[in-house]
Amino acid sequence: ARYDIAALKARLGGIRSEDNPALVKQKSRDFFWYSPVLKRKLDHVTADIIVLPTSEAEVLEVLTAAHALGIPVTPRGTGTGNYGQAMPLSGGVLLDLSGFNKVKAIAPGRYVAEPGAIMARIDDETRRHSRQELRLHPSTYQTASIGGFIAGGSGGVGSIKWGGLRDWGNIIALKVATMEASPRILELSGEDLHKVAHAYGTNGIITEVEMPLAPAYDWVDVILGFGSLRAATEFANELGEQDGLALKNLAVVAAPAPHDYFLRHRKFLPRDSHLVIVMAADFAVDSLLAYAKRFRGAALLMRSDTLFPEEAKGLPPAYELGWNHTTLRALRVDPAITYLQVLYPFPNQVELVEAIHARFGDEVLCHLEFVRFDGKITCFGLPLVRFTTEERLEEIMAIHEAMGAPIFNPHRYTLEEGGMKQTDEAQLAFKRQADPQGLLNPGKMIAWEDPAYDYASGKTFLFRSLSEAG
């Protein structure tokens, strides 16, 4: 065996753990299989043991024991990430934080919670407490944890108003446990948040989050149909700038994807309709419909738990047609579909979308999420790609970049290759302090594993533990 798991168990005292290999393997996975590339590379990955702390004191005990025995620790919220982020590439401990999940305080504009809290549950509590809700959540909000969102996510529902997690003010403060002989709890705010936000848990375990809240309106899903992708994109872009309409999400999905893949909505969606899918506050719906008329948008469907409870029955909410739920719905119908993550930079986003759509046709089906990016309205794409070969996938990405649309590659498990393709000095420096032995989520930060790695080489990084496993 690679590690002395028996010695670890002896030190865990009353903290729950699980080492049944089938159960451990099941929890060692996330939604990495959306990528055929990651599916090929990571399918065999498994931890040696799952440990389930339910308090900060228990997290510190597990880290102390694992550090003493030199056993790697990979944190996990609920494992809904898409890039193998929570997959333990070197085995060892999978630190399941889903039971460390209380909402500790709610106040005007903010709340404090433990990292394993499910976002929809937090929302239930803040709504009940004072009609407040999360500013941002991923489309997986019914199942994903707030700690996992901060460590592994980027934005989602709410980003049309608030931008992403990377934007100033969208995280207030974090408590983070270090991986040392005597682990410390550090309190981070302001500039320091960048050290651990979106670091995949490679340089600390988040043990408490303080996050901002927004007023909780009654949201209505409005699905509009347009005769061309250009018309849908232009409308969405203009709509995004209408701050008075109080939008929560704004997506475009090109025909025929909605009709072909949104099976429960199919009867409402003509096959040649390009959709704009909106979440708007109930008081804004009349104005939204009037505005859409000016752009020849046809209202195809409205859904609301409060206004139209009958129609809402059996139909998933609009946010579960967006973000990576669009991909999920397509994958369920056609397993050969995969996806990309594309930024269409302001101010040429509408033309760029059109040009890329014309370039690829049906091989790359357009799916856009409008967001506020550095204060400007623009769009991210999560286009649906008809996968043929890994070489072609690389070529499609290269063409996007050559046309001026940067790719955040969802077919890589490292921070750098999935992100800015360069070392994040703040995250690296923090790892030197907080995890000097390199035991936290090994293999995900290239800057730590291979400081000489050349991002311009065009070569995919291969983590040593994975190459040994073959």
How far is C-alpha 67 from the geometric centre of its chain's CA atoms?
Answer: 29
**Beta strands 49-52 and 93-96: pairing type?**
parallel
Count of residues for the chain? 470
Which of residues 27, 67, 76, 265 is near ligand FAD by CB under 6 A? 76
- Give the largest Cα separation in the chain, rounded: 70
Nearer to ligand FAD, 148 or 297 (CB): 148
Q: Of 280, 282, 279, which Cα lies nearest the Cα of 319?
A: 279
Q: Is 435 helix (H, G, I), strand (E, B) or coil?
A: coil
C-alpha pair distances (Å), 355 with each of 231, 254, 346, 366, 380: 14, 14, 15, 11, 15
Shorter beta-carbon distance to ligand FAD: residue 56 or 363? 56
Name the minimum Å distance from CB 456 to ligand FAD.
26
Q: How many angstroms separate the Cα of 378 from the Cα of each of 43, 165, 224, 239, 277?
A: 35, 16, 19, 11, 16
Question: Which range in 231-239, 318-326, 392-400, 426-434 contacts ligand FAD by CB under 6 A?
Answer: 318-326
Closest approach of ligand FAD to the CB of residue 230, in Å: 25
| Tokens 């302090």 belong to residue | 433
Instruction: Give me the residue whose beta carbon is nearest to ligand FAD.
Output: 148
**Binders of ligand FAD in range 164-203 (CB under 6 A):** 200-201
Q: Which of residues 20-49 bind ligand FAD (CB under 6 A)?
A: 30-31
325 binds ligand FAD (CB under 6 A): yes
In the complex, what is the shortest distance from the CB of residue 391 to ligand FAD, in angstroms, rounded to a whole number? 26
CB of 48 to ligand FAD, least distance (A): 16
CB of 79 to ligand FAD, least distance (A): 4
Residue 219: partners with Cβ closer than 8 Å, 6 or more residues away = 248, 279, 280, 281, 282, 304
Angstrom distance (rounded) from CA 328 to CA 339:
10
From residue 271 to residue 300, the character string flagging contacts with ligand FAD as x (rule: CB under 6 A) and all else as - is: ------------------------------
Contact characters 421-450, ligand FAD, x per CB under 6 A: --------------------x---------
Query: Which of residues 297 and 442 has its CB atom nearest to ligand FAD in the complex?
Result: 442
Place of tokens 């909000």: 141
Nearer CB in complex with ligand FAD: 29/110: 29
- The nearest distance, CB 379 to ligand FAD, in angstroms, is 14
Angle at 307 between CA 305 and CA 308, to 5 degrees: 70
What DSSP element (H or E) covers 288? Answer: helix 285-294
Task: Decide if 320 contacts 134 (C-beta within 8 A).
Answer: no
In this chain, which of 3, 235, 323, 344 binds ligand FAD, going by CB under 6 A? Answer: 323
Strand bridging mode 342-344 / 337-339:
unpaired
Minimum distance between the CB of residue 73 and ligand FAD, rounded to whole angstroms? 9
Q: How far is the CB of 242 from ligand FAD (least distance, A)?
A: 22
Which one, of 413, 411, 414, lies nearest residue 394 by Cα?
A: 411
Instruction: Kindly state the smallest distance separating residue 81's Cβ from ligand FAD, in Å.
Output: 3
Write the Ramachandran bin of 356: left for phi over 0, alpha for psi from -120 to 50, otherwise beta: alpha
Of 35, 85, 90, 237, the one binding ligand FAD (CB under 6 A) is 85
Residue list 97-156, contact with ligand FAD (CB under 6 A)? 97, 115, 138-140, 144-145, 147-149, 151-156
Task: Tell me, by CB under 6 A, how many residues bind ligand FAD.
Answer: 38
> Residue 427 gets which letter from DSSP?
H
- Give the footprint of ligand FAD on this chain (CB under 6 A): 30-31, 74-82, 85-86, 97, 115, 138-140, 144-145, 147-149, 151-156, 200-201, 205-206, 323-325, 328, 441
